[in-house]
Structure 1
Amino acid sequence: MTATILATGTVAELVGDAVTAPSMHNAQPWKFVFSPQGNVIELHGDPDRAMTRTDPHHRALHLGCAAALFNLRVSAVHHGLRARVRLLPDGSRPWLLATAALDGPADQDRELAALHTALRRRHTSRFPFGDEPVPDALMDGLKSAARLEGCRLTVPGDWHIETVLGLVRDAEHREDIDPLVRAETSAWASDVHASTGTHGTRSDGIPTAAFGPRSSRGPSPVRDFGRDRPVADRGWAVFERRPQLALLGTPADTRVDWMRAGQALERVLLQATADGLATSMTSQPLEWPELRWTVRDPLEVMGHVQMVLRLGYGPTGPETPRRPVTDVLEIRE
């Protein structure tokens, strides 16, 4: 067991890897607190970065924070450390989502360590993918990755894909007629700083460069962050007619399930990146309770869908900004 306190630089590297995780609208709703006594990193949710309209119960916030937790685990192994994780360790502190006690040397988890090179290569792609199918062997590997985190990844059949795409269009229509949802989405899809109203480089949100092209053949399988924000030279493109989707789910729908699903989501995304796949996520139908339950396949033993993934071969998408580690990490004396 590690007898010395981890160096501040090492803790910063661990958190720097953690925050490469995806989160809803790239809001990055996390805070990290390092306690030298015991070498413990606490992961807190940040309610100030919650989506009050589209994520009122903070399910998506938990998924994003849990994805960052998985990255922390990957980084720990890369640094020769073992992360002993506890989920939701204190019922009296609801925003304390997890703790990771770091000691060493790490158990030899080669599969986990191998994902470290994908951390900073994983990006959400809102660009068209090719029609080349994902090989069964790769898809089996992604299913195995989800199982390692206690979740299930399924590939919907043709009729189910059409159902999911129909639900995406339904969710988009609901967003179009709900001014509060549109305002919430627009606030995170801008190059303007919400706090100052000035243009400049943001460290969060979805920059216009990451919007991707508009679809020239009906609705696209990705969220269009530019629907209310014209962007010069954005361009048009033909998206795949039959996107390759996968559903990530859990047996129940508790906060612990959300934390497991977020870690499984990131493990699947990193494995897909390592396998040379481009990825994006389609969460619109999951943001409406009356639509979410219909996303699941009634013939599958999946209780609750936590995320819809789009997989394929194509542009990996541009890097989106991240908040400086100094903004998200507190080191206790």
Structure 2
Amino acid sequence: MRTTEEITAVARAAVQAAVWAPSVHNTQPWSFVVEGEEIALRADSDRKLRIGDPSGREMLVSCGAALMNVRLASRTLGREARVRVLPDPDRPALLATVRLGEPVEADEHTRLLYDQIERRRTHRAGFTDVPVPEPLVEELVHQAKAENARLTPIRSEPAVLVLAALTEAAQEVQSQDRVFTLEVVRWAQPPGSTRAEGVPAGGYPREPRRTRPHFPQRDYAHGHQWGGDADQFAAASTGLVAVLTTPGDSREDWIAAGQALQRLLLHACAHGVRAAFHTQALEASHLREFLRQELLSGEYPQMIMRLGFTLDEGESVRRPVADVLEERRTT
């Protein structure tokens, strides 16, 4: 028999897992309401990038990743997760509801993914020369497919060069835009910061080596000598370049992309593989459309990433659950 205390404990643990999801610039653009057996996931529009992400696409991809964590935690802790995505058209900020259902025994793979939630880190530099094994690449493709998205490893060298060039061009244009730059800097932490959001100074290398071809990262330091001194002086491999796409480009597709992204990232983490994200070209509508038509068979790109092995663990911070969770009593 389910008790109120048991359900509340599972719901809180699910939200605790959710806050560890990746998000653009670690903005953590979500909030949760727990009422009875239901967890509501809401977008926090105050954390949306109004210059870099005016449509809210990246915000919803981020929230989709958090939804995947809720699903994994609920099932691992013994409750089926019954999900409704965009359940109320009159409440656009309500992205999903998760009702904790009947007792269930989590399978081994679900437990494996759940165990990676707090271990996964975003990478922001080059990788070692160790290639990602082909069987693992096939498994990552399968993980994305399970969430109605497609992960396409980019095997063609010319296609990789195109992606790198577009990323570098978009980065250069964005860096010349003062308002765009200020928005990025808002989410950059100086050394010693105690903020539980944004990108910490130790979350990227102080002097990263250029990969070949070069995929630039955001300039979070913005002219300061911030950054860490991990193994990045020796790691300059581009790694495996891949693009996550969806057949459509609706809000529902964006949430699905986030769930697929987190699922494949956790599976990769379980095998020692980490990911670096590159959204610069996807934030320019004409470049994103060019990629869709010329490289991706008409599918909509939701994330450009590089996958590989690295020696450092990286840093990350998260807001406490109390900052994002509202608990309501049922009547």
Give the percent of matched residue pairs that are identical in Structure 1 and Structure 2.
36
Deviations 1:87-107 (A, max 9, x none): 000000000000000022126
Give TM-score, length-normalised by structure 2: 0.91
The whole-number CA distance in structure 2 between the counterparts of 1:233 and 1:187 is: 16
**Aligned equivalent of 1:184:** 183
Task: Give matches, 1:1-333, under 5 Å.
Answer: 2=2, 4=4, 6-36=6-36, 39-106=37-104, 108-156=106-154, 157-191=156-190, 200-217=193-210, 220-231=214-225, 234=228, 237=233, 240=236, 242-296=238-292, 298=294, 300-333=296-329
The answer to whether the Cα contact below 8 Å between 1:217 and 1:238 also exists between their aligned partners in 2 is no
Q: Find the residue that maps to 2:305 and give its secondary structure.
A: strand
Q: For residue 230 of structure 1, what is the amino acid of its counterpart?
A: H
Give 1:302 shift.
Answer: 4.9
Query: What are the ranges of 5 or more consecutive residues in structure 1 without an aligned counterpart?
Result: 193-198
The answer to whether the Cα contact below 8 Å between 2:17 and 2:69 also exists between their aligned partners in 1 is yes
Query: What are the ranges of 5 or more consecutive residues in structure 2 without an aligned counterpart?
Result: none
Q: Find the residue that maps to 1:293 and give its secondary structure.
A: helix
The whole-number CA distance in structure 1 between the counterparts of 2:169 and 2:181 is: 15
The whole-number CA distance in structure 2 between the counterparts of 1:316 and 1:82 is: 35
Give TM-score, length-normalised by structure 1: 0.91
Q: Find the residue that maps to 1:150 and give its secondary structure.
A: coil
Cα 1:110/1:222, change in 2 over 3 Å: farther
Cα 1:220/1:214, change in 2 over 3 Å: farther
Q: Find the residue that maps to 1:240 and give its secondary structure.
A: coil
Q: For residue 292 of structure 1, what is the amino acid of its counterpart?
A: R
The whole-number CA distance in structure 1 between the counterparts of 2:218 and 2:254 is: 25
Q: What is the root-mean-square deviation of aligned Cα atoms in Å?
A: 2.2
Q: For residue 242 of structure 2, what is the amino acid of its counterpart?
A: A
The answer to whether the Cα contact below 8 Å between 1:66 and 1:263 also exists between their aligned partners in 2 is yes
Give 1:113 shift.
Answer: 2.6
For these two proteins, the number of residue pairs brought into alignment is 325
The answer to whether the Cα contact below 8 Å between 2:79 and 2:100 also exists between their aligned partners in 1 is yes
**Aligned equivalent of 1:195:** none
Q: For residue 112 of structure 1, what is the amino acid of its counterpart?
A: T
